[in-house]
Amino acid sequence: MAKLIGTKLITNEVRASYANVFQPTTMTDRDSDAKYSISLLISKDDTETIELIEKAIEEARKSGVEKFGKKFPAKPKTTFRDGDEERPDDPAYAGHMFLNCSSKTKPGIVKKAPAGSPVKTIEITSEDEFYSGCYCKAAVNFYAYNFNGSMGIAAGLNNLLFTRDGERFAGKDSAENDFAEELDFEEDDDAADFLD
């Protein structure tokens, strides 16, 4: 169940895309600061998370007006967008909204501990366990910004909870998938005859 406390949101299950959460990277050539970042894909069927994101953006907009005055836009730019409109050629984004989040500090990345464990979560430290394509829940904080006169609402990445595996979006596949046929290989009759 998604929840909102002020401008801090805990999402329902979403899908990770462009997950740069273990090493900071620069987003563009103009960026001087390397950041941790992720794009969260939110199914359009998840109206609860979408409505809470819109409420969080509105709360952040109100704080922007308090902080920057009446010049802060009534409809500010945000990193919350429609995947069908913005990424029509990417099937992963079809039927989804997406939210780009970033942070200068490394997010906490955890998974649920096994039953009977003395702790509730286990830290994830490997890209093999948290990757673009996996499913997760995210804790993000929305805030107003004014960067050289460009004003809007951004989403700060706080923490991530891995929920389940999914098909990887890009990059290299796992060794297990690459060698699935070889690992399932059974001796055929010719191989058995050769050994006799």
- pTM assigned to the model: 0.84
Residue from 139, 110, 136 nearest 123 by CA: 110
Other C-beta atoms lying within 10 Å of the C-beta of residue 88: 11
**Contacts (Cβ under 8 Å, ≥6 apart) of 5:** none
CA angle 149, 153, 157 (to 5 degrees): 125
Instruction: Specify whether the CB–CB gap between 33 and 76 falls below 8 A.
Output: no
Residue 170: phi and psi, rounded to 5, are -155, 175
Among the ranges given (60-69, 159-168, 169-178), the one the predictor scored with the smallest mean pLDDT: 169-178
The tokens of 138 are what?
């995210």
Instruction: Specify whether the CB–CB gap between 157 and 177 falls below 8 A.
Output: no
pLDDT band at 29 (very low <50, low <70, confident <90, very high): low
